[in-house]
Each structure stands twice: as structure tokens, then as C-alpha cells.
A and B are shown apart, each in its own frame.
Chain A
């Protein structure tokens, strides 16, 4: 099959934060030192080579960037200082933009102006909606559910979650169609998708592949803390908001309080740790942070901090401050989802486990193909 060569690809990926791809002289040190590379997915050199010669069509099918967890060994030992680890990172950003059919992802990744514009849009939309829809501000005592009735907020949350889901799942579908060619899809029976599903659940919860990265236990633990905090908070807000957002004041042992504290604490701890890592730049991964890498943990910390602020202001009995903090909290939330949301860094929460899952599906399909003649596979798929 003919392969298209795109000489501009290299410069395009550089816009996504890759540094030093052109320095690479393809010695293969990076692949050989990588603890996660495999015979089926030998990265990063193979991918960097494709990138240098501009095989756009091939690269968009690659799962490799999602299978890398940036332990940084390749960048540390690269004899040319070509930063292969950062190239993998940039490839994840680029792939996210390729999966995203709206085209916004690429714009936000490539331009700081777009990030600022999106942040402003988020603020204007949320403040505008608040001005239009918010209830009366009771000043005699804190009545958050009068200012922002919980059923309305819950509906808004569900709409937002649905929107996120639609964008995310449609992008995931595009990823699936990129990764699996037409013939390949026809050769894979449903049974394989189902039997591989455990991998998906397991990796979503544990991010186990991350822990296989050398010397990355600390980063993996921190990542687990963030994911646990985020998952808990997401459930509390999207599913159990009626129970979580209340004007009642509960005792400290009530789960509404300690679950909230734990989740917010985990997010703040993990987020601050991630930001500090980017400031210290000790780990290879943190040496070339892209604006989106900064924005994600910073917004997570601000989101949790503003949530806690609402809580404490309410307990302190300061009505106006509570209401303003609440609007600020919503603004930050919207900022998070429009900049690093389904078109950005946040989306890796689906792409990464699905990449491991797709890898498993491919391996099982290949095994099946080895075991049975081609005709049998075709008939099984029918």
C-alpha cells in the first residue's frame, strides 16, 4: 500500500511541545532502555522515525504514545538529547487533537491565545447563566439551595456530564476507527471484545501499567490519589448532588462531610504535588511542561479549594461570600472542562485504559488468527 509522506508533520508535532525530534539519529537507545516497550509496540524510536519521515497516516493509528508513562529513562540516556520522552508526550497531545472531531483540541494545544479565550468564554457563560437563573440571595442566613436550587444544579450537572460524555465517546470512537483498520475490525469477533473487557476495568481503576514504569512509584501513587479523589467527587456531584449539596449542617462523622473532605484533600494534595513537581523540574517528565500540563493540576487544585471554601463559608454563616464562592467554583469547573476537558489532557482518562484494552484485543485477535484459518475467522465475525 502506498504510504503518504508529509514533510510538514515534524513541524506540526513540534507545535504540540515536542523538542529535539530533528536531533534524533535513530540509534535505538530509547527503545532498548524503555521498561514498557514490547515486540508489538516497540517505542519510542520506531514512532520518532515515522514522525521524521512524515507518515501521518501510520502515526494516527499508533497506540504507542498511550502505552508510555514517561518514566524519562529514554530522555535521560539519549545520546543526542533528542528528548524522546517529551516527543511521546507531544504525540499524546497530537493524537488527542486527531481524535477530536471539533478541531478545538488542536487550537487550544497549539495556541496560548486560544486557552485564554476559552477561559474567558467559560467565565462569561457561567456568570451570565448565574445572573439569569440564580435564585434570591438570602442574607439573613446561608441558604445556598435558595440561591442555587440543588435540582437545577443537578440538571445542569447532568447536561454537562452528558456533553462531556458525547464529546469523549465520539472521540473515543474515532480513536477506535483509527486504530483498527476496516479489515481488522471485521476479523475480530465480539467475544474478544468481551473477554478483554476486564483489562479495561482493571487499568481504569489501578493504572497498573504506570506502576511498571521504572522508579515511578511515587508518581503512580500520586496519580492514584488524584484519580480516587476525582472519581469520588465526580460521583458525589453528578450522581448524589441532592445529598451532597445541602443547607443542613452535619456532624463531622457524617459521610457527607468526611467523604467530601477526603476527596477534596486527595485532589488538593495530588494537584499540589503535581504542580510542585513541575516547578522543581527534577523528574524528566517535568522538564518541558506544556501549558496544558500546568493548567490541569492548577485548575483541579483551585476547583477543590473553591469547593472547600464554599463549605467553610457556609459553616461560618457568611451568606454573600458563600454565594460568590459558589459562582467562582462553577466558573473554575467550566474552565477546566473547556480547556483541558474532553479535547485535552483530561481525556486521557479514557484513552489510556482503552489503549491498553485495544492492545489486548489486537493481541487476542492475532492469536486467534494464528490458531484458526482465515476463513474461519471471517465466518465467526459474521
Chain B
């Protein structure tokens, strides 16, 4: 079994993991970054723009993805999963499973000939299943690495891709392989999932045609999105009235989620602004319990949205039904208008779904989670990146709901903590001095 020795193992290649890996590598550490998907980039690479600056998401994420791939101190392992972790002195040794792409990684040039020829189209998970993608494909246009991956579940073994590949990279008989990574420190950046569409039966349990979640709207807004414009998925109509339902997955005991997800207010406001740009005549209404615009520049951002004509209505949406034209009908108490209960019809509803923990590291890493499912941080004020095990750090939304700004800040903090730990454990001189220190 192949054995790789590094200073730090970073688990998860979203924005937090990439940033932590880059910060570690820039400080002279050897880093292995393990990502379970075929490409790094995480959730952020699928987003349209970021709040509160409205900068393009790809413009921030793709340079970091490339930097990770090309950094001399970073070894990137995509489509891999950490199977187990064992104590190894003061460090850790982990078994990692390389899942088969059915494409020889060293041979593939990312030319996408296989993808163009493949006759099978499947829903594109990167576009929240709105558009289609081939059974063999490069995951998305800016994927890193640019290596094709074959979805064996839907493949017909027609052999067309094998013939089309100019590099003879297709290998239907590829199998999973295990290898070991020895690292002095481990960083968990396993990220989040969003509230599942069927979580709340009062909101149609995912059955209503024109009720989507915030991530789907991100794809509709993104320049690389499935339609290239905003259309409601039920019948392709251009929506004239769009409603946001806040706290559709957070601060709700009936869903077992009592915490605030911290990003939903801001992404709803951001999306409302972006929709105002692409559909200038559309009415946009945000139904909220409280607007939590807590970060630097966030309150101004909220005020700007109001000034732009986005309507904010203080009301918790109790239920969403659908009329005969597939229009979602919301039932709310208009508490600022004499507590009148009203049914309000919109063309499309966006659920501002919350952030849920994506992964429980207890079984593999021996790191417990708190009641909310996020990684337990024993001393959140004194050492916010430390888990219960020395040498295992946590960063990004694995630690709790947070936005991109906070994820990047925390990634830097976790990298700094990890470097200090690595220096403590290893004899002086064994960790190279950063290049910039010369």
C-alpha cells in the first residue's frame, strides 16, 4: 500500500479546506488535501455572487482551486474518502480510499471528447439537478482537476467513450484503491448540507413545482447556470413575482434545528438584488421573522435592498400550497397590518433553507459532535479551531453555520493552530522555514 507522509491532512476541499491548505502550504507545511467529490471547490463554486460585495463567486474560488492544484507543497486527492484514522505517535495515520473514476487520471487530458460522444444524459447534480449532464463527464467547466469521471450507475458500456478518447484513458475495469497518509495534524473541513426539500410538510415537502431552495436559485442566477436566465422550473415561465421564505430550515424545533443558520438572511437579500438586476420588473418579497445582518457591511447591504424596492414583510410563512396554475400560495399573518391572515400568491417561492452538518466525524476520527450535529469545540472562545483530540482541528461550516467570510478567516486560524502544533511536536528544523522568511 502506498504511504504518503505529510505535515497536515486536510479533509474536505471546499472554500475552508482550500484556504486552510493554502495557508498551511504557504507556511512551509507539506499538505495532503482529500476531497470526496471528483473536483474541489465545494459549495462555493456553484454559487453566483457573494454578499455583501456582489463579487463573482467563480472569480474568488477558481484562482484558489488552481492555486491548490499547483502549489508545490499540496498534494491533491480528489474522489477519495478517509476510511479510518489511527494515532501514530503524536500524529495520525489514515487509510484513504481512492474511488474509481474509470478513467486513468494520469492519461486524461480533460479534452471532454468522451463527454461530447456519450449518449446518456443524467440530471446534473452541480446544477441542483435542473440541467442534464453526460454519464461520463468533467464534473463542471471549472472543475479541478480537469479529469473525466464515469457514472457507473447509468453507464450502458456502449464503448463509445473508449473509442472517442484520444488518450486511451478509459478503463472500465478500474477498481477502488487504498493508500495511507501519515500526517502530524489533521484539519476537518467537511462542510455542510442544506435542509432536504422534503423536510417541512407545511411547505409542500418538496412536491410543489415552483418552490425551490436557495442553492437552486444560485444556479439560476449563475452565468453558467442551467437556463442562463431565471425561469421557474415547473413550466419555464419567467416569474413576475418571487417570494423568499426565511427560516425555512432554521430556528424551527419541528425540524430539530433550533439554531440560526447565519447566512440565509444575507443570501436572500443578495439574490433579491441580483434578481432585481436580471428581472427588473419582478416583484420580490422577503417574508422574515428577524433580519440578521450582523457582519461588516451587511446592514448597509440590507438597507440598499430595501431602497432598491425589495419588499420585506415580517411574518413567518405557515404553509405553502399550490393553485391550479402551479403558483405557490403562502399563508401568513400580517402582524404589522392588524394581524390579518392572508393567502398570498407568487409565481415562484425560494425557501431560504438552512445549513445542516454534512458529516459526523465520530466514527472515523473519534471527534464528537454537539447536540446540533456540528463538531464539538470544547473551548470555543479560547481555541475555536481545536477539537477534543490534540492535533485534530476543525474549520469552516463543519464547526457550525457560517458564511464565506468567516469560513476563510477560520481556515486561516485553523492553519495557524495546526502549524504551531506541528512545530511543537517535531524537532526544530524538520519543518522547512517558509520561503518568504528568507
**Contact bitstring B118-149, A, C-beta under 8 A = 1, else 0:** 00000000000000000000000000000000
From B202, B252, B289, B341, A31 is in contact (CB under 8 Å) with B341
Q: Which residues of B contact A38 (CB under 8 A)?
A: 341
Indicate if B253 sits at the interface (CB-CB under 8 A): yes
From B318, B338, B340, A33 is in contact (CB under 8 Å) with B318
Query: Closest Cβ of chain B: how far from A310's Cβ, in Å?
Result: 50
List which B348-404 residues lie within 8 A (CB) of chain A: none
Q: Which residues of A contact B216 (CB under 8 A)?
A: none
Indicate if A8 sits at the interface (CB-CB under 8 A): no
Query: Closest Cβ of chain B: how far from A114's Cβ, in Å?
Result: 34
Indicate if B332 sits at the interface (CB-CB under 8 A): yes
B333 A28 Cβ-Cβ under 8 A: yes
B335 A45 Cβ-Cβ under 8 A: yes
Q: Which residues of B contact A34 (CB under 8 A)?
A: 341
B202 A79 Cβ-Cβ under 8 A: no
A26 B335 Cβ-Cβ under 8 A: yes
Indicate if B10 sits at the interface (CB-CB under 8 A): no
Indicate if A46 sits at the interface (CB-CB under 8 A): yes
**Cα–Cα, bound, A79→B252 (Å):** 4
Q: Which residues of A contact B251 (CB under 8 A)?
A: 79
Q: Which residues of A contact B331 (CB under 8 A)?
A: 32-33
Interface size class, chain B: 20 to 34
Interface size class, chain A: 20 to 34
**Cα–Cα, bound, A248→B118 (Å):** 95
Indicate if A25 sits at the interface (CB-CB under 8 A): yes
Whether A32 touches B333, Cβ cut-off 8 Å, given contacts A46-B339, A77-B318, is yes
Chain B, residue nearest A43 (CB): B339
Q: Which residues of A contact B317 (CB under 8 A)?
A: 32
B316 A29 Cβ-Cβ under 8 A: yes
Indicate if A164 sits at the interface (CB-CB under 8 A): no
From B252, B316, B319, A28 is in contact (CB under 8 Å) with B316
Q: Which residues of A contact B202 (CB under 8 A)?
A: 33, 77
A79 B316 Cβ-Cβ under 8 A: yes
Chain A, residue nearest B290 (CB): A25
Q: Which residues of A contact B333 (CB under 8 A)?
A: 28-29, 31-32, 37, 42, 45
**Contact bitstring B159-174, A, C-beta under 8 A = 1, else 0:** 0000000000000000
**Cα–Cα, bound, A77→B200 (Å):** 10
**Cα–Cα, bound, A207→B65 (Å):** 67
- What 6 pairs between A and B have smallest CB-CB spacing? A32-B318, A27-B316, A28-B333, A42-B339, A33-B318, A31-B333
Q: A28-B316, A39-B341 are in contact. List 15 more A-B contacts (CB 8 A).
A: A25-B289, A28-B315, A28-B332, A31-B318, A31-B333, A31-B335, A32-B332, A33-B318, A37-B333, A42-B338, A42-B339, A42-B340, A45-B333, A77-B318, A79-B316
Chain A positions within 8 Å of B, measured between CB atoms, are 25-34, 37-39, 42, 45-46, 76-81
